[in-house]
Amino acid sequence: MSGTTVGFVGLGAMGQGMAGSLLRAGYAVRVWNRSPEPVAAMVALGAEAAEGLADVFAADAVVSMLANDDAVERLLLDPVLLAGAAATLHINMATVSVDLAERAEALHTEHGIGYVAAPVLGRPPVAAAGELNILAAGIPAALAAAEPLLAAMGRRVWYFGERPAQANTAKISTNFLLACAIESMAEACSLAEANGVRPTDLIEMLSGTLFPGPICSGYGAMVAERRYEPAGFKLPLGLKDVDLALTAGASARVPLPFGSVLRDAFLDALAHGDGEKDWAAVAAVARRRAGLPA
């Protein structure tokens, strides 16, 4: 896609790194964000500031990285905006509900725009390095058009089917599993500490034996050390993803009994003022339940 102009919507901590990766790959990137400061930062790196969303959709392709269903629907699922678009491809990289993914696909198809869902695995430093794992789904022609852009932002693209909602389902399932793992490690660390074992020693052993890999060594260390700032993924976003899993489960008649426990734990953490912390701070709830010192 040499010479392709890319419109980019959503310059949060993840979006800035992803737009930067596209710039490094040689794309002309036109950026839009609700607050102006990230736009100015990207312009300093060589991006062009879009005059509005219509200007974004005047590019050849659009990439978006917004926080939730509400933001995507309010900003991007506007029939007037899509009817006037020159873009022939929209890659939505947000973690959104299955329902929204299906509606977005139908609306884009109605207006002749290829739609690819491509949520990601990785934190802001990984996005900035262009090393994301990307979960993608869409019709083959749209995926083929999206592939060079995805390759610029990620280390590997994992394909999940021809319906965009399939990629969102895979991402929701993944984040649900991560939330369960964080809760399990929090309970195990609380059990260890209450019986005189240092949580850091427990996690070091587990990371080097039964559970090697980034979940135990990364999130496990955060839980054991009670290190929840700076937030790479804020706690309210964790609650959002647990709710997405519960909604998807209810729609497909798949019981997720741990999901209800997780939702209450995240609400407990928010009620105790942890909303600006990393979602690993849900571990503080397990400590409170165990009567351990704050």
- Catalytic residue at 277? no
Q: Which of 171, 234, 240, 277 is catalytic?
A: 171
Written in H, E and C, the secondary structure of the chain is CCCCEEEEECCCHHHHHHHHHHHHCCCEEEEECCCHHHHHHHHHCCCEECCCHHHHCCCCEEEECCCCHHHHHHHHCCHHHHHCCCCCEEEECCCCCHHHHHHHHHHHHHCCCEEEECCEECCHHHHHCCCEEEEEECCHHHHHHHHHHHHHHEEEEEECCCCHHHHHHHHHHHHHHHHHHHHHHHHHHHHHHHCCCCHHHHHHHHHHCCCCCHHHHHHHHHHHHCCCCCCCCEHHHHHHHHHHHHHHHHHHCCCCHHHHHHHHHHHHHHHCCCCCCEHHHHHHHHHHHCCCCC
Active-site residue set: 171
